[in-house]
Structure 1
Amino acid sequence: MTTQTEKAQQDTAAQNQASIANGVDAEIYTSNQRKPVGLAAKIAVILCIAYTLFHVGVMNGLHDRLTDLLGIGSVDLTEPWRYRLIHVGGGLALGFLLFSSTLFSEERSGTADPRRLLAVLPGAALVALAFGQAALFWTTGMAVDQAAAANAYSMTFGLPLVVGTFWLIVVGWFWPDRRRATFDIADLFLALAAITVAMYLIYHAPFLRLRGGTALAKSADMYAALAGTVLILELARRLAGLALVIIASIFVLYAFVGPWLPGILEHRGYSMTRFFSYVYTDQGILGPTTAISSTYIILFVAFAAFLQASRVGEYFVNFAFAVAGGARGGPAKVAVFSSGLMGMINGTSAGNVVATGSLTIPLMKRVGYKPQTAASVEAAASSGGQILPPIMGAGAFIMSEITGIPYAEIVTAAIIPAMLYFASIYFNVDLAAQKFGMKGLPRSELPRFDKLARQAFLFLPIFILIGALFMGYSVIRAGTLGMASAAVVSWLTPYPMGPRQILFAFEIAAKMTLQLVAVCAAAGVIVGVIALTGIGTRFSSMLLGLADQNQAIALFFAMIVSIILGMGMPTTAAYAVAASVIGPGLVQLGIPPLTAHFFIFYYAVMSAITPPVALAAYAGAAIAQSDPMKTSVESFRIGLAAFVVPFMFFSSPALLMEGSWFEIIHVVISALFGIYLLSSAVQGWFFGLLSMPLRAVLLIAALSMIAQGWFTDAIGLSVAIGVWLVQKRFVDPNKVIRGAD
């Protein structure tokens, strides 16, 4: 007879089985994100929903109805320049409303400090004046046309906008509003400044296409672009940290100090008017990075938001726990699978660490992983999601856009390298579990596989997305079908998506997009400087000179540059910048475009776990309460295969599915064995603890297997067998050495 205590234990176990991933789909708030209440909360929700709906509607061809609805007549807001300006301007406005210039250490309430309101007043008045002038352009039909004076409207628009923007940013730095439940008055006017910039540039877009970056540019153009650039960098600082802001600022400074620099860095220099009117065109901020963030990124973030709102993401994690949670080191293996799957959709490594790591990291620590190891595994797996086909964190679509290579070809080429990377992380996790004698979670605490298998239809949104892409549908149509299918399959679960959940998905999609909007726009500043000064072409020439036509040396330099440029940036922005700087040089060396861009993309992704600026590792360290620098070093070691794989597919195109099936199968088998040996050398475990000399020997064997070729495979296999014999005590090291003689 079951006692009451036993029944309670059974009920608890059943609850754990059903809800081990409960909360993984919950909305995550960053430490500087506001949590408005009351009317402010309703306003924020409406604005976020409108922002996402605008993008989804325009991308799906609803622009004619939108134009009629807004009554804007001949001003087509869906024309590429204007659409991107709305994307950036709206993202900036939302970003300043929702994210503070400081961290919230506690939930404060109360009224605003009157003294601070007085400090904000001058900046607010100047921005309001500039907004009024921008509104007059729209309502009266006036414009800063070609016949206008060079400094027209400087006193009523340009200078007030710039001075007011700087004033409000400085007030936010030194005197932030620490009330989390309401909007900051200074940030309200910064949002108004962002709207003012967008209004001016949208209205004057026909003129800016002709005079941007030329001697014909007007002071008002420069002031609007300057204020917009400053707002972009400030929001990037709030959402992505200082690294990207510093890099972008160095590039901006470079545009003005070129005449005094030596060697290839020298250029003639540019005036403020010419530079800023150029950088806010489709050669810079409105260029490829914003084109990508305003289409592919926001679309797939919205898709991820639908999966989150429908709790399909929670099912993915539960499924991974049911499959691997009971194995040795189970939670770490779950992290490999679930973080890879969610990171593929998410589009940002650090964001995915926060989303899935909040569940997997504590469970990894529970079964025996050190805090920094748990954080490192999660960071490496989440970063790997960016290279996992078919979505690759939107990377596949971005690469297709930049190179012109068909999407299907890119996805096919990505399969084997991604498999090798995740195999490497899995091997590291399993070997560490063997080394420290770790167990998995008790089966009683894990979801039941048979129950979850009956809900396998929840994978349909992914399959529909992939199927639509391979059937020839556009990326936009396929993404929209994926969103719709996520809503439909939710009706077969206990959490059906009704109007409220669908609107919630649009709301969180906007919030999830804001960081990417800011960093892609900031990356656009860098791209604009590169295009204006020609440093990209000169850098490619220098790369060719240093390499002396040696492709391997050129690729080594390309690796270093890609990692440096990617530090502090999400994958998409990092790849776009690196591709514009070093992509042309690699192609000039005769490296196939697909190989060259895959090479750059891999190292841009891995910058998220490369010390000293490893954003994904730092996000994991914050959850695990471990040392950030030690965590970043260990995540680098765990993800070491990703630093080897690009050189593998350069030397062996079969890894990119180029060659006969026999060649492909051969390189995959030898590479997998090499990756296993590499993981064993990193973890110091190969059928038992490895001494340092044997780790070094095994590393040589791993590199031999990875090098590709029957001779090097034979060397690697022989050395590995020799180490195995030593580990099994069949021979001692001296006999192995004598045998080698």
Structure 2
Amino acid sequence: MSQTDKASQLAESDPAYEQPEEEFGGYKRPLRSWEAKLFYILCVGFTAFHLIILNFYPIDPWLFRSIHVSWGAAIGFAIFRFVPSERRIGIPWFDWVLIAAAIGVCIYMYVELDDIQFRAGAIYTTGDVITGLAGTLIVLEMTRRTAGWALTIIALVFIIYAFVGPWMPGVLYHRGYGFQRFITYIYSDQGILGSTVAVSSTYIILFVAFGAFLQVSKVGDYFNDLSMALFGWARGGPAKATVVSGILFGTISGSSVGNVVASGAFTIPMMRRVGYDRATAGAIEATSSTGGQITPPVLGAGAFIMAEITGIPYGEIAMAAIIPCLLFYVACFMHVELHARKYRLDGLPFSELPKLGELLMKAYLFIPVVVLVWTLMAGYSPFRAGSLGIVSAIVVSWLSRHHRVGPREAIEGLNKAARDVIQLVAVCAAAGIIVGVIALTGIGGRFSALILGLAGTSQFLAMVFAMMIALILGMGMPTTAAYAIGASVVAPGLQRMGVEPLVAHLFIFYYAVISAITPPVALASFAAAGMAQADPWKTSFIALKMGLATFIVPFMFFYSPLLLGQGDMMAVIYVTLTASLGVIALACATEGWLFGTMPMLMRVVMFAAAIMLIVPETITDSIGFVVAAAIAIFQWVRRVPEPAKETTA
């Protein structure tokens, strides 16, 4: 039995690890036998339909996106409870009504497609209005069930704003729109069926399917076992393995909370076993899992929206994310190392670890990821890259005696992909409502002007405003929606101030991601705290400390594109090395430990040295290096072995 299987058994036997099944509050209901079979077929068909359309038989984009939303809604209404407290088995009558309504909307779009496109934005029929209203209400209800109330309420606020504009003051004023005009506009390619759903129906479904096939072929377990074999024996080994598996697992999942739930059942019990307290174990898992959304080649779903909005090739976005991702995980790894030294935490015995030799013999399991990276870098479309990745995952599995993907496993992969993507379908559709209202009312341009007015000529102040908006948005909704709104409202203003599009959008994206571990609503930290039975606030603040470098790095690549890999190669290598030393020094300052306990004054000085090292300037790098080196030498000379400290269970 692998280390992953052992940990999973431990997790299943401990109620501390029970978790909601979805990222932001969705709970799945038990189905009757015939219902389960029916929707299993519909899930398999959902994924297969997208793979066929994207690779072999393209259809009209409006129709394709309408089918995507309606089919996804039908599945969502079947498998997600109306309320978390629902205890019935099977689909209630009102959800069958919603399923029928979702199908009806799609049928109307199919029958009236040409006429709807011809009269779009000019005239509308009663059928158009009824269909638009039904489609919008379906999206709102699906979002509430799968992603929680926050995004749903924000979408409703934007809808209301479209009607009350004439009575709003100042920058919020607009001339207002009639109900029929608005509802037919919002359920079109300018709103719900617009750019955000275009992304979920193409890039996202393909890469979620790729991740599903990697999991069906047990590559996810392989990543965990390999990480444990490489680092499980070291000081604080399970925590180091958690950080490394977060990097590897980021190629499978682009969801912070999804990563926590998927890998936390394995990593948290292992960390607890070697002496990590509950809050720290949860924080390490939350932080490393959050990093999965900024880990190339498969970043979070928001990165696909970024490619769609900016027109920047996805491969270029993934390349630009490499150095910030590296700095994030260097910081995480250093925090883990310092904490283990501080509390003298050991690793696991070699006898209890997976055999490295056996795992290295299975290194061919990396081939699907290599294929994905190569095809993206070679200029293939993300559609083709994702599809080739899926095919390679199936082929590679045939080399394994235990986890071969045959017809049954392939069908299960299609089913799993559909179930995993439903929440993102809802999120992208709801984000389409918000993006549509922003475009219809012109509030995005006026808000950008407001930012310019408040910031004056200071790009730095404008970036601070952008950071705060992205963090606030991300605290109550998935990263995808937070980024989509920020990109529509804030990014245009930053670009008008002269900020490069890639820098502006990555800046917003990173803060939307890091909001998952930012109090007061730190969803990834709360999920990990629940699995570890830890205090959510304590877990959140520890995770915030570990992810502190990510709050600083976006400002650094704003000032210097070298941290995005843009520029002379030697200069890029230089700033990467100095910034790495900076995040290491930052970890020492925040942990209060290097070769011994650091007094508060020394921590403050080390913190300042860390910032100077992270800033990509030769003078600041030199000063920061000298100061940090002096503190390190002083600590080394004065080091005194300290007894192990007690950790809080």
TM-score normalised by L of structure 2: 0.92
1:187-206 map, 5 Å? 187-206=95-114
**How is 1:499-514 mapped onto 2 (pairs within 5 angstroms)?**
499-514=407-422
Residue deviations 1:1-36, cap 9 Å, x none?
xxxxxxxxxxxxxx4558446689999955721232
Per-residue Cα deviation, 1:464-502 (whole angstroms, up to 9, x for no partner): 111222233221112111111111111111121111110
Distance change >3 Å, CA 344–CA 572, structure 1 → 2: farther
Aligned to 1:539: 447
Match of 2:647 in 1: none
Q: Secondary structure at the match of 1:346?
A: coil
Contact 1:349 1:570 in 2 (8 A): no
In structure 1, what is the equivalent of residue 390 of structure 2? 483
The more displaced of 700-709 and 420-429 is 700-709
| Deviates most, 34-43 or 375-384 | 34-43
The residue matched to 1:345 in structure 2 has which SS?
Answer: coil
Give 1:52's aligned residue.
Answer: 47
| 17-26 or 579-588, which deviates more | 17-26
Q: 3-state DSSP class of the match of 1:441? A: coil
* Counterpart for residue 634 of structure 1: 542
- Contact 1:218/1:273, CA 8 A, preserved across alignment: no
C-alpha distance in structure 1 between counterparts of 2:388 and 2:2, whole Å: 34
Q: Distance in 2 between matches of 1:24 and 1:473?
A: 43
Structure 2 residue aligned with 1:370: 277
Query: Is the Cα–Cα contact under 8 Å of residues 568 and 608 in structure 1 kept in the other structure?
Result: no
* Partner Cα distance (1:613, 1:510) in 2: 28
Partner of residue 98 from structure 1, selected from 79, 96, 106: 79
Correspondence list, 1:335-734, <5 A: 335-493=242-400, 494-728=402-636
Between 311-320 and 565-574, the greater mean CA deviation after superposition: 565-574
SS at the partner of 1:678? helix
Q: Structure 1 residue 725: deviation in Å?
A: 4.9
Q: Which has the higher contact order (CA 8 A, sep 6+)?
A: 2
2:36 aligns to what?
A: 41
Separation in structure 2 between the aligned mates of residue 710 and residue 478 of structure 1, nearest angstrom = 39
Matches within 5 A, 1:31-180: 32-63=27-58, 78-103=59-84, 176=86, 178-180=87-89
Q: Distance in 1 between matches of 2:281 and 2:481?
A: 27
The whole-number CA distance in structure 1 between the counterparts of 2:552 and 2:83 is: 39
Paired with 1:558 and 1:210, the residues of 2 have a C-alpha distance of 39
Residues 93-113 of structure 1 deviation map (CA, whole Å, 9 limit, x = unaligned): 100000102225xxxxxxxxx
Query: CA–CA distance in 1 between the matches of 2:509 and 2:139?
Result: 24
The answer to whether the 8 A contact 1:243-1:567 is kept is: no
Aligned residue runs from structure 1 range 318-337, under 5 A: 318-337=225-244
**Amino acid corresponding to residue 398 of structure 2 in structure 1:** W
C-alpha distance after superposition, 1:267-302 (max 9, x if no partner): 112222111111111111111110000000000100
Alignment of 1:207-356 (within 5 A): 207-214=115-122, 216-356=123-263
**Could you say which structure has the larger radius of gyration?**
1
Distance 1:283 1:595 in 2: 26
Q: Is the 8 A contact 1:562 1:578 kept in 2?
A: yes
Asked if structure 2 preserves the Cα contact closer than 8 Å seen for 1:677 and 1:698, the reply is yes
1:461 to partner: Cα distance: 0.5
Moved more, 295-304 or 550-559: 550-559
- The 8 Å contact of residues 608 and 615 in structure 1, kept in 2 or not, is answered as yes
Structure 2 residue corresponding to 1:185, chosen from 93, 99, 119? 93
- Specify every segment of 5 or more residues in structure 1 that has no aligned partner in the other structure, as ranges: 1-14, 64-77, 105-175, 732-741
Contact residue 147 and residue 427 of structure 2 kept, 8 A? yes
Greater Cα offset, 294-303 or 551-560: 551-560
Report the secondary structure of 1:687's partner residue. Answer: coil
2-side partners of 1:206 and 1:730: how far apart? 79
SS at the partner of 2:233? coil
Task: Name the SS for the 2:250 alignment partner.
Answer: helix
- TM-superposed deviation, 1:179: 2.1
Q: What is the CA-CA distance between 1:211 and the residue it aligns to?
A: 4.0
Q: 2:262 corresponds to which letter in structure 1?
A: A
Distance in 2 between the 1:226 and 1:633 partners? Answer: 43
- Name the structure 1 match of 2:645: none
Instruction: Note closer, same or farther for the CA distance 1:436–1:378 as it changes in structure 2 (3 Å cut).
Output: same
Q: Where does residue 737 of structure 1 map in the other structure?
A: none
CA distance in structure 1 between the aligned counterparts of 2:358 and 2:498, rounded to whole angstroms: 53
Question: Is 1:240–1:568's contact at 8 Å kept on the other side of the alignment?
Answer: no
Could you tell me how far apart the structure 2 residues matched to 1:448 and 1:202 are?
56
1:67 corresponds to = none
| 1:25–1:313 contact (8 Å) kept in structure 2 | no
Q: Identity of paired residues, percent?
A: 51
Q: Give the TM-score normalised by the residue count of structure 1.
A: 0.81
Contact 1:347 1:571 in 2 (8 A): no
Please give the secondary structure, in 1, of the residue aligned with 2:252: helix
**Residues 560-569 or 645-654, more deviating:** 560-569
Q: Is the 8 A contact 1:21 1:317 kept in 2?
A: no
Q: Given that residues 583 and 596 in structure 1 are in contact (C-alpha distance below 8 angstroms), is that contact kept between their aligned partners in structure 2?
A: yes
- 1:142-198 alpha-carbon deviations (Å, 9 max, x no partner): xxxxxxxxxxxxxxxxxxxxxxxxxxxxxxxxxx4x224x22222122211222222
Structure 1 pair 634–229 and aligned structure 2 pair: CA distance change class (3 A): farther
Give 3-state SS (helix, strand or coil) of 1:659's partner: coil
Contact kept, 8 Å, 1:25 with 1:314, in 2: the verdict is no
* 2:15 aligned residue: none
Q: Partner residue of 1:130? A: none
Match of 2:643 in 1: none
Amino acid of the residue matched to residue 450 of structure 2? M
CA distance in structure 1 between the partners assigned to 2:286 and 2:130 by the alignment:
41
User: The residue matched to 1:392 in structure 2 has which SS?
Assistant: coil
Q: After the TM superposition, which of the residue ranges 26-35 and 272-281 deviates more from structure 2?
A: 26-35
Shift in CA distance, 41/673, structure 1 to aligned 2, threshold 3 Å:
same
Query: Which residue type is aligned with residue 557 of structure 2?
Result: F
- Count how many residue pairs are aligned between Structure 1 and Structure 2: 629
